[in-house]
Structure formats: structure tokens, C-alpha cells
Chain A
């Protein structure tokens, strides 16, 4: 009988984890082998030592730190829940857009692979071109969705992205116009006004400028709009400018600008 094999089983034997056959093997061997009997005693002592290990107590800091951690997390949770109710709707829409964008990306990717593996036919390049334009569309939609985000810096960024586009369809323009007229933040409205100058030849944009000038009471926006209207030679602005001059609410500097503007149109 192999002593090494028996010694290997001693711990399992001591803990009653052997099957009957193996246990008998060990017992029979121990009767006949003194060396392994010693080993058996040592293993017993060793197990005793291991099982005797007692847990040490940590310092009081541990519980204290844990309680602090828990309090911090509760505070976070409270803040999150406030934001959550605020953003729920917007996030939902944004997520929808992302989903569509991902789907189109996949289609585009497949199209690209197909195109790569076979010689280009007119058909395929047309398909790819149309997918490309779909993709651009999607990007645009995403950006427009960003305009509905709750923080002004995000919206500002979105306006800047839209501004970089060379061609703008009515949809983009109307979103920018809407931003110009109704965004809660002055800087975002201002950015929208500047972004629209690129498309100032578009009647929609011209009308929007006039409309906004009529309603805006924020001096910096008024000044920006007057400057733009002078630049683009929009004669219809004249009547509005005269009204601004008459109105008492307006700041002197705005009235001054309006006066200068009228001269240009005459």
C-alpha cells in the first residue's frame, strides 16, 4: 500500500468525507503502518489548529465608515430621483433615436461589406449613397433631439453642430427657429440666431427673424437681431424698428440701434 496515497486522504478521512471503501483502505493501512499513524496524529493536530482560528475584531472605524458610505449613497439616491423625474421623457425620446441610429448603422455596415466584396455596380453605389444620406439624417435627428435636453450647455452644443451643416432642410431650420424663439436660455437663443444667418436667404428664416424681433425683450438678442436684419437687407424690419423706438420698455442702446437701422433702410 502506498503511504503517500494514504497520507493524501487523511484530512478527508478525519472530516468523514471519504466513501466507505476509501475509509476502509485508510483504516486498514493505519493499523499496519506506524509512520502513517504518526502522520495521522499530526494531521489531526493540524486540523485542530485550522479550526481553532478565531476571527479578529476590526476597529470601530469600519462600522463608522460604512454608515457614512450609506448616508452618502442615500443622498445620491435622493438627488437622482429628483433628476430622474425631470429627465424621464427626454431620455426616452433620445433612446428611441439611438435605437434607430444603431439599426441604420448596421444596415449601412452590411451594405458596405456587400459593396466591398463585389464589383461596384451603379445600383449598389446608389444604395450606399442613400444609406449614407439616411445616416446623416439620423445624426441630424439625434442632434435635434439633443436640443430638448435639460441643460443649456448641451443645447448650445447641438446648435453649434447644426450650424456646421452646409445644407439644411426645413426640418433643421424649423428646429433652429423654434430654439431661437422659445429656448429658455439667452445664450442658446443667441447661438441659434447666429447659426441661422448662414441660411438667411431662406424665407422661413427671414420671417423668423422678424417674428422674433417683435417678441424679444432681451436687449442682447434685440441688438443681435437688428444687426442681422440690417446685414441681410430685410426691408420689412423697418416698421418693427420704428415700433422699438417708440416703446418705453426698451433700453436706450437698443433704441439707438433701431434708429441707425432705420437710416440704412431709407
Chain B
């Protein structure tokens, strides 16, 4: 990213390759919509380009990127509060083997989990997303959200237990 900041724009390509999948799924779980998620990923990288001069190498690129991603999602959320998006499942390849049943079970567990996540508050959803699915450390989440590490820990603890509760209500 330091290279990108100094004007070597091609250096952004490897960063895109590395992170776009995670970002896409980040947005996908929050918005439940594929094409919106693609747009939001695009917005993140557009902002990275626009604000490249403000990048501070004392922070990890990853933290900075998630900060931007959060803002992008917050803006989207603010502008589209009323839009209820239907979650259309992408086409899945059907397995003709024994694993088909297992696969179906896995799918249904996933669906329940996502449904349970809808029952969480936005900030709880976000913390689950960052700590669980994006695999970030509490310290890093603290940097991204501007909360203290302890606060993040407490929030994550409450969120995961709440999610567990909701999950078993639905299951």
C-alpha cells in the first residue's frame, strides 16, 4: 500500500486479489445480496484509490481497509434502510454422492445461522463478522472500530452468546 500511495497504482492489484473475496463475503453476509456486495467491494477499492494519500503505514493495510469497508456499509445502510433485499442463493453444484445429504445439512445450518444473525443488532452483527468470519484479532477490531480492546471483547462475547441463543431458537 505504501507503493500505491506513492503513485504506483499497479501495486493495488495484488491487494485486490488477496482481499476481494473476504470483502465480498463480508458485505454479502451483511446485505444478503450478491450484486450489491459486488458494488460495495468496488466502492471500497475506489475509496482506497481516492484516499491513498492519507494511508498511514503505522496501521495495517487490513485494518484500514476494514475501516473503509465499515464506512461504505454504514453509508449503504443509511441510504437503503427501507429496501428489503431478498437473498437469492447462488447456483450450487449438486453432488451425486453420499455427501449430498451432508451438504444439504450444512446448507440448512448455514441458512439458520444467517437467519439468526438477522436477529442481532447491526453492531453485534459486525463484530461477529469481523471476529469470526474475517478472523480478526480483538486488538485489530479495536483499531478498526475505535473501541477499546476490552470493550470489543465484551461485545464479542455478548454477541456470540446472543447468536447462539437465536440459533437454537430457530434450529
Neighbouring A residues of B9 by C-beta, 8 Å? 70, 73-74, 77
Closest Cβ of chain B: how far from A215's Cβ, in Å?
Answer: 44
Neighbouring B residues of A58 by C-beta, 8 Å? 20-21, 24, 34, 37-38, 41
A117 at the interface (CB under 8 A from B): no
Q: How big is the A interface, by class?
A: 20 to 34
- Dominant secondary structure at the A interface: helix
A52 at the interface (CB under 8 A from B): yes
Q: How far is the CA of A12 from the CA of B157 in the complex (A)?
A: 8
A62 and B133 form a contact (CB under 8 A) = no
A69 and B49 form a contact (CB under 8 A) = yes
A39-76 interface bits toward B, Cβ cutoff 8 Å, 1 = contact, 0 = none: 00011001001111101111101110110011001100
Closest Cβ of chain A: how far from B136's Cβ, in Å?
Answer: 15
- Dominant secondary structure at the B interface: helix
B106 at the interface (CB under 8 A from A): yes
B113 and A63 form a contact (CB under 8 A) = no
Neighbouring A residues of B157 by C-beta, 8 Å? 8, 11-12
Closest Cβ of chain B: how far from A58's Cβ, in Å?
Answer: 4
B37 and A65 form a contact (CB under 8 A) = no
Neighbouring A residues of B10 by C-beta, 8 Å? 70
User: B167 is contacted by which of A7, A49, A77 (Cβ under 8 Å)?
Assistant: A49
A53 and B133 form a contact (CB under 8 A) = yes
* Smallest CB gap from B90: residue in A: A56
Neighbouring B residues of A12 by C-beta, 8 Å? 157
B60 at the interface (CB under 8 A from A): no
Q: How far is the CA of A50 from the CA of B21 in the complex (A)?
A: 18
B14-52 interface bits toward A, Cβ cutoff 8 Å, 1 = contact, 0 = none: 001000111011001000001001100110011001000
A62 and B25 form a contact (CB under 8 A) = no
* Smallest CB gap from A8: residue in B: B161
A66 and B22 form a contact (CB under 8 A) = no
B12 at the interface (CB under 8 A from A): yes
B139 at the interface (CB under 8 A from A): no
Q: A58-B24, A58-B34 are in contact. List 9 more A-B contacts (CB 8 A).
A: A46-B168, A52-B110, A53-B113, A56-B34, A58-B37, A59-B34, A69-B42, A69-B46, A70-B10
